[in-house]
Structure 1
Amino acid sequence: MPTADPADGVAQLCAALVRIDTTNTSSGDAQGEREAAELVASVLADEVGVEPLVLESAPRRANVVARVPGRDPALPALLVQAHLDVVPADAAAWTVPPFAGEIRDGCVWGRGSVDMKDMCATVLSALRSWRSRGVAPRRDLVLAFVADEETGGEYGAGWLVAEHPGLFAGCGAGIGEGGGYTLDVGGVRLYPIGTAERGTMHLRLTASGRAGHGSRPNPDNAVVALVAALARIAAHRWPVQLTPTVREYLVRTGEALGVPVDLGSDAAVDATVARLGRAGALAAAVVRPSTTPTVLSAGSAVNVIPSTAQALVDTRVLPGGTEEVLAVVDELLGPDVRREFVSRGEPVQAPFDSPWFTAMTEALRAEDPEAVVVPYCLGGGTDAKAFSALGIPCYGFGPLGLPADDGYDHRAMAHGVDERVPVAALEFGARVLDRFLREV
């Protein structure tokens, strides 16, 4: 039942979502997305009072889209997007069964409690309190609870953007996963908000050569050519590339922590990141591009030289640096190895000197007056990549009020064993989102 408190029942709602197994495998198989979408749709219809659309991109690959009318329909709408699928969990390794959705020791336990059924619950909890209070948002809200984020969004955000772009017309900005949570560093409470994401390029490398017997000399060995190219890629030290978001994160965080910040050289940047400690860990992966070999495939018998050898390389690029990285990769590969894209998601960048960012900052400080709000760049990727293709600047803002470091490592929870989120963190997030979504 709707209540006047935006935080009331948020933990129970998160637990209910966790109990629906929405595991999404790398092969593209998924389960439970339809049931999760139906739960979300029922909350929207029965408790929020809006009419949801449940759209299937394929049988049982369900997405929920709804529009909450604002007081001023002339204002650009705000997109609020979250995904319903989760990565697999090995139940044998968990203290609590991963889909039991238990609330114990002050936390909601289970796969997806951090990535990202927590934000699904905090958004819905805030919205369902509005009926009792007789309030409405300042602007229209476009809600998208989607499938398939964990394997690239082909059946979720990517499909919605390609097949139903009109649902998102008029959105001036969007929020989703990837920021707004507490990072306590020596008593200083940082709240990083995602204003950028590295781009994702998964590359398949193929070397071709002359097949033959393993006992005979063969200078045209595809395996040798591929391994040599991979060795060059692995040994390459990418130079520092400070984007506006990363530079601002380092400067603001250094000021807040009283840590000297020197960005004058690659070595100085690395030393600054190290001095920032836990806060520096958020920047360590995003001060430069990366190329990481992950999969090798060649041959079928020890005495046969194969005609081809292949590898996959996980390549991450920063806003503005895609073509430069590809040019260097091609140089490192040399003439004997060709590359192709397995998948490609462009970097994301949104302004941190915007009214949207200011409104997020104000909502956080209303709940935590000592909040130090900083922009930061995500090392991985989210569905923001799909929605940004529509020209919507996207922010990582799924607020949580997390405790100081007491053995709970929030960043290790996503995709980890014993994933869990504190109930108090969810309640904080629901209150922040209530304020932000009403007032922005």
Structure 2
Amino acid sequence: MSLLELTQQLMSIPSISSNREECHRALDWVIGQIGDLRGLYRHDFEYQGFRSVIFSTRPERRSGLVLNAHLDVVPAHSHQFTPEMRGNQLWGRGSYDMKGAAAVYLQLVKDLAAQNPEDRPNVQIQFVTDEEIGGHRGAERLVPEGFVGDFMIAGEPTNLNICYAAKGVYWVTVHLSGSPGHAAMPWQTQNPMGDLSRGLARLLEQYPAPSEPVWRTTATPTGILAESSHNRVPDKVSLKIDIRRVPEHTQDEIQADLQEFFPGTRIEVVQDSYAHYVDPANPWCVQLADMQQQQLGSRPQFYREHFASDARYWTNAGIPAVCWGPSGANMHADNEYLEADSLETYHRLMSLWMTRF
């Protein structure tokens, strides 16, 4: 099958992160497509019911180059799992994020299997099934298990530019307490909504919502929870906050702000995920950009991203890692699409890049 056909076949499997059966069906489809390994090594990994598979040219878990693709996708309308070509654009869920890159990685494994063993570079190619829900049972576990290397690439969609940094995820719920009572007699109550509103005002003053992309920490309130009726002052209220922190802003600093804004409250950390950062002057990053410039005639841009990827687990372990993948637009949206011709370009570039390891 062509790269486009491989992508379309993968897209037709509705491997939403919460559906383990379909995610594992996509994984088994990849394994089935590779067929005879011809001396390659296959490592099957499972943690808490979440499966991953790694194909390597060496028996050891550590390699020179690590490539990582996730097969899970975010929820979508049923029609989005029927791939549709519109000119050069492949529309549908997962086309851009990131079954196009996964199809390229699948083909790369087949390419490696067809090579003479002595000619194979020192590479491992990983397929995981939980990136869209944090990667806590896939990539986050693979790193301490030793599936690492000298350089790591996550095939996230970047339009063939190089993402070298991304914000960390810090989700908290602030729990406030008061004294309940009848809303018609507020003087007999201690309304936690007042403390919430005052704290929220200070939060938004310190972390104002940007009107355009900006590289700083953001704190976005996403929900207020209170079990009460219209005529009852609640005894408890909770505020959910989605915080995206830049690498230079620590969790301790954010926690100190929250304690100042909401004194005497319980602050529950729901998720605390690493930020992603590698110095763009790192020799591997420079060589990758040089190679692409030599092949395509233009140098890729180095840029920072606002959402997380699995690359953060490698940089947290001190391993240089970037996101670098095909072209398209509108990940997670109803109009998600992949530029189909970027598959061949990405495959050609990655094939060349692997020979350096």
TM-score, length of structure 2 as denominator length: 0.89
Cα displacement (A) at 1:393: 2.2
Cα displacement (A) at 1:139: 4.3
Q: Give the secondary-structure state (helix, strand or coil) at the position aligned to 1:87.
A: coil
Partner of 1:380 in structure 2?
307
Q: Give the secondary-structure state (helix, strand or coil) at the position aligned to 1:115.
A: helix
| 1:81-96 correspondence runs (5 A) | 81-91=68-78
Residue 350, structure 1, aligned to residue 278, structure 2:
yes
What is the aligned counterpart of 1:327 among 223, 238, 256?
Answer: 256
Q: Distance in 2 between matches of 1:48 and 1:101?
A: 32
Residue segments in structure 1 that go unaligned for 5+ positions in a row: 2-8, 92-96, 183-190, 240-269, 275-280, 403-409
Q: Residue 47 and residue 181 in structure 1: after superposition, are their counterparts in 2 closer, same or farther (change >3 A)? A: farther
What is the aligned counterpart of 2:199 among 229, 232, 235?
Answer: 229
Cα displacement (A) at 1:134: 4.9
Cα displacement (A) at 1:138: 6.8
Q: Give the secondary-structure state (helix, strand or coil) at the position aligned to 1:224.
A: helix
Residue 167, structure 1, aligned to residue 147, structure 2:
yes
Q: How many percent identity over aligned positions?
A: 26
Q: Distance in 1 between matches of 2:257 and 2:16?
A: 37
What is the aligned counterpart of 1:416 among 333, 338, 350?
Answer: 333
Q: Give the secondary-structure state (helix, strand or coil) at the position aligned to 1:372.
A: coil
Q: Does the 8 Å contact 2:98/2:156 carry over to 1?
A: no
Q: Give the secondary-structure state (helix, strand or coil) at the position aligned to 2:151.
A: strand
Partner of 2:342 in structure 1?
425
Q: Does the 8 Å contact 1:174/1:393 carry over to 2?
A: yes
Matched AA of 1:101: P
Q: Residue 336 and residue 58 in structure 1: after superposition, are their counterparts in 2 closer, same or farther (change >3 A)? A: closer
Q: Residue 179 and residue 351 in structure 1: after superposition, are their counterparts in 2 closer, same or farther (change >3 A)? A: farther
What is the aligned counterpart of 2:181 among 212, 220, 225?
Answer: 212
Q: Residue 11 and residue 181 in structure 1: after superposition, are their counterparts in 2 closer, same or farther (change >3 A)? A: same
Q: Distance in 2 between matches of 1:203 and 1:336?
A: 15
Partner of 2:172 in structure 1?
203
Matched AA of 2:304: C
| 1:117-132 correspondence runs (5 A) | 117-132=99-114
Matched AA of 2:126: A
Matched AA of 2:261: L
Q: Distance in 1 between matches of 2:151 and 2:269?
A: 29
Q: Does the 8 Å contact 2:276/2:316 carry over to 1?
A: no
| 1:43-122 correspondence runs (5 A) | 43-46=33-36, 50-59=40-49, 61-69=50-58, 77-91=64-78, 97-122=79-104
Partner of 1:21 in structure 2?
14
Deviation per residue, 1:39-70 (Å, 9 max, x gap): 222334437762323333244x3211121249
Q: Distance in 2 between matches of 1:140 and 1:359?
A: 17
Q: Residue 23 and residue 48 in structure 1: after superposition, are their counterparts in 2 closer, same or farther (change >3 A)? A: farther
Residue segments in structure 2 that go unaligned for 5+ positions in a row: none
Cα displacement (A) at 1:384: 1.8
**The 10-residue stretch of structure 1 (323-332 or 430-439) with the greater mean CA deviation from structure 2:** 323-332
Partner of 1:266 in structure 2?
none
Q: Residue 152 and residue 76 in structure 1: after superposition, are their counterparts in 2 closer, same or farther (change >3 A)? A: closer
Partner of 1:254 in structure 2?
none
Q: Give the secondary-structure state (helix, strand or coil) at the position aligned to 1:201.
A: strand
Q: Distance in 1 between matches of 2:204 and 2:94?
A: 33
Q: Distance in 1 between matches of 2:353 and 2:284?
A: 9
Q: Give the secondary-structure state (helix, strand or coil) at the position aligned to 1:293.
A: strand
Q: Give the secondary-structure state (helix, strand or coil) at the position aligned to 1:207.
A: strand
Dislocated runs of 4+, deviation >6 Å: 135-138
Q: Does the 8 Å contact 2:73/2:93 carry over to 1?
A: yes
Partner of 2:25 in structure 1?
35
Partner of 1:315 in structure 2?
243
Q: Distance in 1 between matches of 2:254 and 2:58?
A: 44
Cα displacement (A) at 1:142: 2.1
TM-score, length of structure 1 as denominator length: 0.73
Q: Give the secondary-structure state (helix, strand or coil) at the position aligned to 2:271.
A: strand
Cα displacement (A) at 1:225: 1.3
Alpha carbon RMSD of aligned pairs, Å? 2.8
Partner of 1:6 in structure 2?
none
Q: Does the 8 Å contact 1:130/1:136 carry over to 2?
A: no
Q: Distance in 2 between matches of 1:120 and 1:308?
A: 46
Number of equivalent positions: 354
Q: Does the 8 Å contact 2:96/2:157 carry over to 1?
A: no
Q: Give the secondary-structure state (helix, strand or coil) at the position aligned to 1:309.
A: strand
Q: Does the 8 Å contact 1:87/1:415 carry over to 2?
A: yes
Deviation per residue, 1:208-252 (Å, 9 max, x gap): 11121222124521122112212221233469xxxxxxxxxxxxx
Q: Give the secondary-structure state (helix, strand or coil) at the position aligned to 1:357.
A: helix
Deviation per residue, 1:301-346 (Å, 9 max, x gap): 111211110011011111121133332333223x143312100012
Partner of 2:319 in structure 1?
392
Q: Residue 130 and residue 159 in structure 1: after superposition, are their counterparts in 2 closer, same or farther (change >3 A)? A: closer
Cα displacement (A) at 1:427: 1.2
Partner of 1:290 in structure 2?
218
Cα displacement (A) at 1:131: 4.9
Q: Does the 8 Å contact 2:207/2:219 carry over to 1?
A: no
Cα displacement (A) at 1:429: 1.0
